[in-house]
Structure 1
Amino acid sequence: MGNNNRRTVKFVTLGCKLNFSETATIGELLAKHGIVPARDDETPTMCVVNTCSVTEMADKKGRQHIRSLVKKYPDALMVVTGCYAQLKSEEIAALPGVDIVLGSEQKLDIVDYVEKWLETGRQEEVVVTPHTRISKFSPSCERGDRTRYWLKVQDGCNYYCTYCTIPMARGRSRSGTIESLVAQARQVADEGGKEIVIAGVNIGDFGTDTGERFIDLIKAFDQVEGIERYRISSIEPDLLTDEIIEFCAGSRAFMPHFHIPLQCGNDEVLKLMHRHYDRALFAHKIDKIRQLMPDSFIGVDVMVGSRGETQERFDDSYHFIDSLEVEHLHVFPYSERPGTMALRIPHIVPQREKQRRVARMIALSDKKQRAFIERYVGTVRPVLMEQPHGQGPMHGFTDNYIKVNVPPCQALVNKVVDVKLLKINDDLSVDAEVVTA
């Protein structure tokens, strides 16, 4: 690992917010053992790539990052973890320059494997736990270089949708306890944190292994003094109960902001996907939110080009989504994943047609999001200001998740201030001026 006495690490994180939270936790664990983040002008003694495997493109990006880091830092210890590492450990281990491959169960035990590697001076064998044995809940509550904290409350999934490898990559659903998670939220408040994003793989499934309920968790969170804002990162429509929506609408600190996976707006395709709802239920959830929280920002996951999505079914899905009062679509093309039941479904959508459908949905998303933001230009909203990076403006998000830019001012960092929204930019952020601080 070179002759530099200073032990440093460079991180690359791919995929979901949960991965970013866990990378921050890994960083904290390594820092306690004297391995600190490398400066921009410093050659790291160690690299950690936390991978995603939700699509074939995610796997490809993982390989590209690994190869790039190995080429740039040939003497650095190379550690690869995350979902791709869990699902295809041998494939990763075969890449030149990779030293340690950690599966989901071992991700937060990274210090033990790194120290052993340093002691023996030889490459560690691949360590991956089969998905049927992934049973440990590893807590994570970090902000990294952000102002907002990501608090992991749940991991794994029991749903086994036909297109998805998450249960194989992260195991069955498991959770922390309300007592332990509230203690972490209090610690965030003690550190001066103002906002917590509640993260997990299927957070509405919280407590299936502990006998507790998600509604009781968020009620307990709402009582933590010092935390001014909570956001629910993503929750399945069948698990987003009316009780949860009603509580958030009347709560002290839960923001008018939801992210709800739909995947497809056609009921026949939803059945092929083995989703746990139909579009009537989904539409009810949107209507319920709008009724109680009319200013809410609602994001929706949409997969296009899945097996069985004929042109007629796609058009039906598009028109249904167009009819929904939602603000943003996270659109991605279906990707064939080995070992999934979707491979048995007939009707394969050609790649070029997938790309056309993605473009159509993204255009719809941009139209919806711009129309939503335009409603608030000229109004005043509360914003939690983030740490500025570089010489550009600093930014933050309104309570209803509109990204705003203001001139940099260090005194505003991690403060909730009122800003007046002035002008929409091409990237759908909004230039704003601070009204009260």
Structure 2
Amino acid sequence: MKNNMLKTAIAMATSLASVSVFASGFAINEQSVSGMGTGFAGRASAADDASTVFGNPAGMARLKREQMTGGVTVLNASTDISNVSSSPNGGSNDGDMVPLTGVPMGYYVKPINEQWSVGVGMYAPFGLVADYESGFAGRYFGSKSAVEVMTLQPTVSYAFNERISIGFGPTINRIAGELESSLSLNPMAPDGEVKVKGDDIALGFNVGVLAQLTDSTRVGLTYHSQVDYTLEGETEVDYGLLAMLGYSTHQQYDAALELTTPESVDFSVTHELNAQWTLHAGSTWTRWSRLQTIRVENSGVPGGLTGQFGEITEQQNWHDTWAHAIGASYKLNEQWVLRGGLTVDQAPTNNIDRSPRIPTGDRTIFSIGAGWTPTPELTIDAAYSYLQEEAVKVNNSAHGQRYSAEFENSANGFAIGATYRF
């Protein structure tokens, strides 16, 4: 019999998605404060500051001064849960499962000569923290998730001429995750608890090209590679009924889970309409169809429990997604720039496999921002985004437990950052 503990281990990969705030699946968009102000519409073509290390490494060629860019985005998400039906009956559905979360970023770019520039960036491309309240009605299908991916990217760019440049950066990526879920083998007994931990380090790369088509229009194309991980850690089970089978109430197994974060392609256009107005448009394709089946292997499992705790396969059946954005910036004067943007983003999940760990639907995001340059050396950027998702249904059942509900997510993002030019 397949056990919910194993479903929890499998969900280590997909739990990243449970309410990943401003991008589809378990991607995070918050790698640039200036870009957030326009809804990331010009991410591959704007090259406004050193955060272009992520947005398009070829954009470093446009930065003629050595500079550092850093910032943080604070995310505050909420969920409205309605039309709930569960078995066993009872339990809460507060929907307050995402704590206030900060996403940091930092970049450095140094021009070497007219052709070459080097840089480095540190940012979070994927991640989530989700923690349902104690006694959550859907706790058997996921109660807590804490996962993050941090990336270090050394980068180089080369300008063929004043019109065309390319850039490349290998990425060093570390993933770490911790999950908790309730476990019940007997409805007459108290719930047990399952904890899953794992981490890994893997390599990928970002590559981009930037072309100044006319004096007022440039286009950018960026490819973010897939990254293949093998998370290694342990699965811990604390449940008293195992003692009835002759085993300790505390079980710990070595766990391994293979996960691929998908490749994506960003294309955007930046057009300087006049001295005040700059327009941006962009699209991002993400190959979420890589997440079809997830397999968890636990070693060190006693023979009597191998059928339950040894290996399990679960279908996810995610599909590829598109995100589209438009935005604009207005130069109020030499010191102030105002920004705004609109983004629509598909969710990769489907109505059959969606769970409380992944209760996401298609989303619409409204963004505003501003940049203040009090001196030629310093720019301070701020941005705000509001996200609203479509209402989606969750309908899960396994081993005598059942949970169905309607989830509707929303979120606010606040970001502040600075660029200093040497």
TM-score range, shorter chain: under 0.3
Greater helix share, structure number: 1
Greater strand share, structure number: 2
